[in-house]
A and B are shown apart, each in its own frame.
Chain A
Amino acid sequence: MRRRYLLLKIESLQEIDEKDFRNAVWDAVLRLFGEYGASKTGIALIDYDVAKKYAIIRCAHTEVDMVRASLASITEINAKPVATYVLGVSGTLKSLRRKFFSPQ
Chain B
Amino acid sequence: MITVEGLTKKYGSTIAVDSLSFTVKPGRVTGFLGPNGSGKSTTMRCMIGLDRVQSGTALFDGKLYRELKKPLREVGTLLDAGNAHSGRTARNHLRWLAMSNGISPKRVDEVLELVGLIDVAKKRVGQFSLGMKQRLGLAAVMLGDPKVVILDEPANGLDPEGIRWIREMLKHLASQGRSVLVSSHLLSEMALMADDLIVIGKGRLITECTVPDFINQYAKKWVVVKSPQLSSLVSLAQGQGMHVSLGEGVAEFHGVEAATIGELAATNNVVLHELSTQTGSLEDAFLEVTADAVQYHGHAETQSKGFEI
Q: Does B bind A?
A: no
Interface of B toward A, CB cutoff 8 Å: none
